[in-house]
Amino acid sequence: MWVFGYGSLIWKVDFKYDYKSVGYIKGYLRRFYQHSIDHRGVPEKPGRVVTLIPSDDPNSKVWGVAYKIRNEDVDQVTQHLDYREKNGYSKQIVTFHPRDTKLEPFELTLYVATQDNESYAGAASIEDIARQIVACEGPSGLNKDYVYQLANAMRQIAPEVDDNHLFSLEATVKEMDTDNE
């Protein structure tokens, strides 16, 4: 079993894995369109975290990390991730394209929050999303730290990739965060 990390699973891997590979999936966009009431916000003041939305361009890419789970750990890791991603995420199978060209593309599991879940926040302007993020905190910490950690992780694993939504949001959050100090 392989699992794809495109959000906090890039930098906060809290499960056993045998091997990891940087690469991408096609046909999706990474967006801060999911409310978080259990990690980066609370029910009264939900934060925002990433999900994937279908792209109009079948060749658009979302970079992240694939983790190979050993057979003996599949049940434990699946239970852990089902719990961790419980707030509106469902599993899908997609094709992963490793950066390492010695590896062939392969299928893996990813957790994606679809528009029909109760915590789906939907589209908003970068400024509105940033305002919400700067104001929120949950059991896993400040919502703005999620943005900063994801942006830093993406620069480390895929420095050549310009994730416009993520980096524009990071810049706006930093600007608003400075204004609030």
Angle, CA 53 vertex, CA 51 and CA 54 arms, to 5°: 150
Look up 118 and say whether it is catalytic: no
- pLDDT beneath 50, residues of the chain: none
Give the tokens for residue 19.
């091997």
* Residue 116 pLDDT: 85
- What's the pLDDT tens digit per position in 73-99? 999 998 888 777 776 677 899 999 999
* Residue 90 pLDDT: 79
DSSP character string of 30-41: EEEEEEESSSSS
- Spans of all domains in the chain: 2-179
Phi, psi (deg, nearest 5) at residue 105: -55, 150
Which residue pairs, CB below 8 angstroms and at least 24 apart, start in 123-130? 123/31, 123/33, 126/165, 126/168, 126/169, 126/172, 127/172, 129/32, 129/48, 129/169, 130/169, 130/172, 130/173, 130/175, 130/176
Residues in the chain: 181
* Residue 87 pLDDT: 65
Catalytic residue among 85, 118, 127, 170: 85
Return the number of other C-beta atoms located less than 10 Å from residue 142's C-beta: 17
Burial 70-90 (b: 16+ CB within 10 A, else e): eeeeeeebbeebeebbebbbe
Say yes or no: domain 2-179 is CATH 3.10.490.10.
Answer: yes
- How many angstroms separate the most distant Cα atoms in the chain? 50
Distance CA(99)–CA(70), nearest Å, equals 21
